[in-house]
Amino acid sequence: INTLHDGVYRYLIHDYSSSGTTISASGAAVTMVIEGRGIFSLSAPVGAASGAVWDLWEITVEDGRVTNVTQVNSWTDASVFN
């Protein structure tokens, strides 16, 4: 990403599987690197349901730069985003 636009963003991972499987919380991990802010790593929270969304971080951009990263790290039902 070359240009950041002001706003609040969510880093989400959605289980798009149509087979009814779930995101595997066992050993799942994500690392995000933000220039000038650092390295952020999370392991999936315990428990998951079919169609779940893993809500990882809320990222705030002001004046074209990341000013805050808030860890969320929870499961959310995908229907919330429909």
pLDDT digits (tens, 9 = 90+) for 48-75: 655 578 889 999 999 999 999 999 998 8
Percent of the chain's residues with pLDDT above 70:
76
Q: Are 22 and 48 in contact (CB under 8 A)?
A: yes
User: pTM above the 0.85 mark?
Assistant: no
SS in 3 state form for 8-77?
A: EEEEEEECCCCCCCCCCCCCCEEEEEECCCEEEEEECCCCCCCCEEEEEEEEEEECCEEEEEEEEEEEEE
